[in-house]
Structure 1
Amino acid sequence: MSDIHALSGAYAIDALDEHERAQFERHLAECADCRAEVDSLRGAAASLAETTEVAPPPQLRTDVLSAIKTVRPLPPLPRQGHGRNAGRGRRFRGLLVAAAAVAAVGTGAVVTQPWSDDQSPVDQVITAADADHASTKLDGGTLTVYRSEKLGKAALVAEDLPKVSAGKVYELWLQVDGAMVPAGLLEGSGDKEVLLTGDAAKATAAGITIEPDGGSKQPTTTPIALFDLTQDT
């Protein structure tokens, strides 16, 4: 698999299935970086096991997602571009597990399933085991689309989303069987999270356009962003 390095966190806490474990152990024999990372994570897990189980702090989710960005980077998987604004993304399976262990060290607490009981629909997509993502920049902001094929859902996370003019709204789209299908509206500006409507399992792309208030049945303007959702193999 293209992101086998990212399995180090899951391997360290025995979260891999039999096939993944065998595959990763073959890789581990040849990768000194991964061996060091596994040893470090196992040490963190041992420290956690000696502490007391408590409810996770409200800030933990934000800290964990931020910690993902500090995990040893992997080469991005190649993606087929769709226009000038097409983003590049890679799977992050396993990184969430590793980051969660690292973020919890030093808190004096064992955190199990830190927000599974209270996950929003967007969080469920972002943290799904098969989730992949693609990002792009937009006028100083960042747009990231996450998709879980198993859940059949996609979500958009926007940071510093620019404000549109009066009477206009952002509209989201999924490309299914070559056609752009409405997937919801995104109102306002700044930091936003929204679950796209419709079945994203077979979608090959997602897009954003600026439409009149209330949205449109078909895009009436050129997309300001397009995201390739094609699975890497």
Structure 2
Amino acid sequence: MTDHDQTPGWDVHALSGAYAVDALDDVERARFEAHLAHCAECRDEVDGLREAAAVLGSAEPVEPPAALRDRVLEEITQIRPLPPQSTPAPGGAPVELAAARRRLRPLRSGRTGHLLLVAAVLVLVAAAGGLLLRPWADDNPRTPDLTAAERVLAAADAASVDKRFPDGSTATIVISRSEGRAVIRTTDMAPAPDGRVYELWLQTPAGELEPAGLMPDVRDATVLLDGDASRATGVGITVEPDGGSDQPTSQPIAFFTLDS
């Protein structure tokens, strides 16, 4: 569990539904993806909700009752998902959290109808005016203690460059000159081959590539690049031996040209 998972007043697990329908802002997405990298429960939940949303997207459209939107918007304000109680169980996990997760597992394995209903509600809520479930909003105002990656994403001068790969995956570089840092966000990016790793590089004004860190072995990631990006002219991704290299050993599989 990360420090952000322990922020008082909200439960990061509650964001899986909003994440599945792309209803989080950049900062929330970065926080949830940091959690997602080490939470198999949430990865399963997101995968299941995305599958259900895809099924819903291919279904014949049905016109909802005219009063449904108003009813959802009215009643959703009365419901606030609460984080589970943290009384430790003998095995170390909170009693209520362990029980809740046991109840969720059958939904993933067999009760698709319930999962479709959950996804339908999420899609409806997201579409009905952009309402976002923020379980911490009414008693814990957003704090300014953002991580370096979150400051880049939230910066007033943040600029982005996108790349789409042939397999449909995407990568986006977000750079803030005022912060002097850059962030890469990937969506559905295939892992590097066995024994290899994706390495990031910052291009200097002189055209040299300097090591800027390694990508984690997950499909959806938000990663802060190492090094000073305040004057960088580009960002590259290469495939390197495990552990990375001091200099690129292959041509970049992607290069992002940055505006000066």
In 2, Cα distance between equivalents of 1:57 and 1:137:
33
In 2, Cα distance between equivalents of 1:219 and 1:146:
22
Q: Among 97, 111, 132, which residue is 2:159 paired with?
A: 132
SS of the residue aligned with 1:125? helix
Q: Among 209, 215, 218, which residue is 1:186 paired with?
A: 215
> 1:158 aligns to what?
186
> Within the alignment, does 1:214 sit opposite 2:243 as a pair?
yes
> Within the alignment, does 1:65 sit opposite 2:25 as a pair?
yes
Question: Which whole-Å deviations, capped at 9, do the CAs of 1:119-139 have from their partners, x for residues lacking one?
Answer: 332221111100000010123
What's the TM-score, normalizing by structure 1?
0.53
Q: 1:110 to 1:185 in 2, by over 3 A?
A: closer
Please tell me the root mean square deviation across aligned C-alpha atoms, in Å.
Answer: 3.2
Q: 1:170 to 1:127 in 2, by over 3 A?
A: same
Structure with the larger RCO, 1 or 2 (CA within 8 Å, 6+ apart): 1
Question: How much has 1:229 moved relative to structure 2?
Answer: 1.1
Q: 1:202 to 1:57 in 2, by over 3 A?
A: same
Question: How much has 1:116 moved relative to structure 2?
Answer: 4.3
> 1:1-233, aligned counterparts within 5 Å?
59=15, 63-65=23-25, 103=130, 115-138=142-165, 139-177=167-205, 178-231=207-260
Structure 1: unaligned runs, 5 residues or longer: 1-54, 67-101
Structure 2: unaligned runs, 5 residues or longer: 1-8, 27-128
In 2, Cα distance between equivalents of 1:166 and 1:216:
16
Q: Identity of counterpart residues, as a percentage?
A: 38
Contact 1:152 1:201 in 2 (8 A): yes
Q: Choose 1 or 2 for highest CA Rg.
A: 2
SS of the residue aligned with 2:150? helix
Q: Which amino acid counterpart does residue 65 of structure 1 have in structure 2?
A: D
Question: Which whole-Å deviations, capped at 9, do the CAs of 1:103-161 have from their partners, x for residues lacking one?
Answer: 46999x98799644353322211111000000101232110000000000000011111
What's the TM-score, normalizing by structure 2?
0.48
In 1, Cα distance between equivalents of 2:202 and 2:223:
14
